[in-house]
Structure 1
């Protein structure tokens, strides 16, 4: 790879982030529908006297509630929270279940499931437990390793944690391993 790492870094970032196109389009469609309904309502209010009387009858209970300040404050807070949630959903970047690493020779993108399988294989091999009795969940900063020992054969949690740390060190990702050994084993 060249000494210029800006392009590979940008590509890795793009591969690790999820697009926010879906929520943005959904928000735009909902806002468009609301604005069109408001426009139709205003035009009908201006042009049709019967619609004006019927709308006044519909909104009479709402007008009574709106007269109380606590109801107005609660309604405003709910609308503000909804607006902040929608804006955050559209603007903030999403995260895919992938890890990236830039080396001097290659840019690497690894799915969290593949990393979890590699950790489980390595831990099972190093502590002498069948692969089916080790499960791994990879979170943002940690790897949770669950080991179910064979009945009557104890498993040392410290050895399993050390094995997980070695595997993570070999693959080059900085995750803190957390090992849980089940109290009861399975019959082999």
Structure 2
């Protein structure tokens, strides 16, 4: 593997994956808040007794709520749910709606919407229906092609699927096309 190939693969991976900026910022804010509360507790213990008594008066309602078992269970459940969400976001890979391909000459990143448009154009051209009557949704491993034929002009689903496979082969992406032809056509 050459250096250019390794760099290209790393760049393609970076472009195809979503960042974890949101969960990282949320976690940093939570940890900062916890650190500030601990710092306030340490500072409060070093301050004079009058300030500590006044702070205890201010925090008495919150301390009373925290003493009840139901409140502790609720806070624990919320913290557990937050921890599960943050761990899930850290472990599950983020995926953008993009496809990548590496050739000998170029590294290519294509948005799923662009691939869907190209697939719809190619299928419409090959089966002979107007482009507005073909819609495509690209999923992770498949492409759903919905064809609405012109009234009185039949469209064969096998021909449309073959056309979709041909377009995908030309583009160089491996997806399994599923074709759905509407029973009723539109008036041309």
**2:16 is equivalent to residue 12 of structure 1:** no
Query: Which is worse superposed, 30-39 or 178-187?
Result: 30-39
CA distances 1:80-108 after superposition (whole Å, capped 9, x unpaired): 23113123324644222211111222222
Which residue of 2 is the match for residue 121 of structure 1?
A: 121
Structure 2: gaps (5+ residues) = none
TM-score normalized by the length of structure 2: 0.82
Q: Could you say which residue in structure 2 is the equivalent of 1:133?
A: 133
Is the CA contact (8 Å cut-off) linking 1:151 and 1:186 kept in structure 2?
yes
Aligned to 1:101: 101
Question: Number of matched residues?
Answer: 184
Which shows bigger deviation, 82-91 or 159-168?
82-91
Partner of 1:178: helix, strand, or coil? strand
Aligned partner of 1:58 in structure 2 is 62
State how far apart, in whole Å, the 1-side matches of 2:185 and 2:116 are.
22
For residues 61 and 10 of structure 2, the distance between their equivalents in structure 1, rounded to whole angstroms, comes to 58
Greater CA drift, 86-95 or 178-187? 86-95
Aligned position for 1:85: 85
1:33 is aligned to 2:33 = yes
Distance 1:112 1:150, change over 3 A: same
Please give the secondary structure, in 2, of the residue aligned with 1:151: coil
- Give the structure-1-normalised TM-score: 0.82
Partner residue, 1:173: 173
Q: Distance in 2 between matches of 1:116 and 1:140?
A: 12
Give 1:3 shift.
Answer: 8.1
Which stretch shows the higher mean deviation, 158-167 or 90-99?
A: 90-99
Root-mean-square deviation (CA), in Å?
Answer: 2.7
SS of match in other structure, 1:48: helix
Cα offset for 1:38?
4.6
